[in-house]
Amino acid sequence: QSVLTQPPSASGTPGQRVTISCSGTSSNIGSNNVKWYQQLPGTAPKLLIYYNNQRPSGVPDRFSASKSGTSASLAISGLQSEDEADYYCAAWDDSLNGRVFGGGTKLTVL
Amino acid sequence: QAQLVESGGGVVQRGGSLRLSCAASGFTFSSYVMHWVRQAPGKGLEWAALISNDESKRYYADSVKGRFTISRDNSKNTLYLQMNSLRTEDTAVYYCWTTVTGSAFDYWGQGTLVTVSS
């Protein structure tokens, strides 16, 4: 059972917009910033979003994110086939003194 | 460009021990907190342990506390994870990871597979 809660799956057709939610508590998302990762099969996670809604250089602006209270969300617009991957949210947890991850959301592009 | 390269994975019997290493390059290793994160086959990411840049702080996930020890040698730019009393549920790809809160500084190794056989 992951500390942060994500839906196990999401799907969309090319060109659509999809959102992935991430729910936490006051000790993690509620008091710390959120990062989002994309993981393609057989590879290490790749940073998509940091500081709740900032994109590293090289990440397309089709990816956006937000945070409100103890929840966060990742949005992908103009869905492309190469976006098919697992997506994880992450945050520091003040109670656990460690990083916590969501269980991951498998995005399927139909 | 920062790079992290893990080694030391393999097959070990239940109850056995293994030591993982992570060689860092391309950044000032001694300045950064380092983590180990694992991923069981077909499962999600699970944070396992962290060590502060000066080794003064070490934190562990409950699932590994008392069995795993994280350490580092800043003179060798290397991170370690000593894993004892291994269980079948410790079977996973183990990644070393460094990340800075509120920053795009975020690097992962390629991972090393640990398989605990019964």
pLDDT number for residue B57: 96
Residue range A6-49, pLDDT digits in tens: 999 999 999 999 999 999 999 999 999 999 999 999 999 999 99
Residue with tokens 């500084």: B105
pLDDT number for residue A73: 98
Q: Compute the count of residue pairs across chains A and B with CB atoms less than 8 Å apart.
A: 59
Residues in chain B: 118
Q: Which residues contact A43 (CB under 8 A, 6 or more apart)?
A: none
| Backbone phi, psi, residue B8, to 5° | 105, -5
pLDDT number for residue A74: 98
CB contact under 8 A, B45 and A54: no
Report the gap between the CA of B110 and the closest CA in chain A (Å). Answer: 6
DSSP per residue, A61-75: TTEEEEEETTEEEEE
**How far is residue B7 from each of residues A3, A46, B36, B79, B99, measured CA to CA in Å?**
28, 20, 13, 10, 20
Q: Which residue in A6, A99, A105 has the most chain B C-beta atoms within 10 A of its own C-beta, making it the best mutation to test that interface?
A: A99
Q: Which residue among A46, A51, A98 places its CB closest to the CB of B47?
A: A98
Tokens of B4: 């992290």
User: Where does the pLDDT of residue B102 fall: very low under 50, low under 70, confident under 90, or very high at 90 and above?
Assistant: confident
Q: What is the mean pLDDT of residues B52-80?
A: 97
CB A35 within 8 A of CB A100: no
